[in-house]
Amino acid sequence: MPCVAIVCKPHREELKRLLPELIAWLRKHGYEPVLDREGAGYTASAPSVDRADLPKQCPGLVIVLGGDGTLLAAARIFATVGTPILSVNLGFLGFLTEVRLADLYATLENWCAGCHSLDERAMVHAILWREGAEVTSFEALNEIVVSKGDIARMGEFAVELDGRSVARFRADGVIVSTPTGSTAYTLAANGPILTPDVDAMVVTPICPHLLTLRPIVVRGDASLIVRIEGVPNVALLTIDGQQGLELHLGDEVRCCRSKYKVKLVRLGDTGFFEALRSKLSWGEL
C-alpha cells in the first residue's frame, strides 16, 4: 500500500482521539500510515520512525497535524524529496496550515480523488563561511536570521549583494526572507508583504540604529552575504526560528535561492489574500 507520513505537533491532547481515527481512515482507503516519534506517544496503532527518517519511507503524502512551526519543520525535511504536504491547523495563527480540523476528512477525500493543486514555495539556502571554508549549510522556508545575543547592545553587520557592498550598520540583526517568510518575522520587523509567487528575497534590518535604513527587496537569484563585523558578546544564526548556532566575529552567512521547493497541497480557493484578511486582518475596514 502507498505510504502516508504523519508529522505531529507535540503536547496536543486532541491527538489521542484524532490519530487512531486518522490511521483507520487511511488504511480503509488503501494507505499505510507511518508516524513520527511525537505521534507515537499518542497511539501504537501505526509504526513510527524519527522525523528525519520519514522521507526514507517514500511517502506519497505528508499530513502535518500542528501549527505553522510544525509545518516549517516538516518542510525542511521533505523539500529535498519533493513530497507534497497537507497541513492541518492545530496551532494558533495557522497562516500556512490552512485546513481546519473539521475539514480534514473532506480534504483527504478530495486528495484521493485528485481534486487538488500544489502550491510550490521557494526556499533560501544559507552557507556558514568561517575563515575561508564552509562550516555547514541550511535550507529555510521562512527566513535566515543573523542576530546579536542576549545582551541589550547592538551588533555591527555588513551586507553584500552579488559581490557589491550594500551597507554597513549597527542593529539587533538582519533577516533574509523568502516571499513565504515575508508574513512572519520580517513582517514584525516592518518588512513588506510579498505574494508567494514573487521571485525575490527580502533583506530586513532588525531595530537598526539609523531610522533611514529600510528593508530592501532583491532578485530571487541574487547572492547575499551577511558578515559579522562586531558583536557585544555573541551572535547567532537562526533557521526558521527553530535551528540555530553561535557565530564568530568575521563569520559570513551566504544566502541564495535554494534548489529545493516546498510543495503544499491546496484544495480550496481561499487564496493568499483571504489568509491575510482572516489571519492578519489585512485590508479590512
Q: Is 233 annotated as a binding residue?
A: no
Q: Is 274 annotated as a binding residue?
A: no
Q: Is 69 annotated as a binding residue?
A: yes
Of 36, 50, 53, 68, which one is the catalytic site residue? 68
Q: Is 242 annotated as a binding residue?
A: yes
Q: Is 251 annotated as a binding residue?
A: no
Judge whether 68 counts as a catalytic residue.
yes
**Best CA proximity match to 204, nearest among 260, 155, 252, 143:** 143
Q: Is 57 annotated as a binding residue?
A: no
Annotated binding site for NAD(+): 68-69, 142-143, 153, 170, 172, 242
Annotated binding site: 68-69, 142-143, 153, 170, 172, 242
The set of catalytic residues is: 68
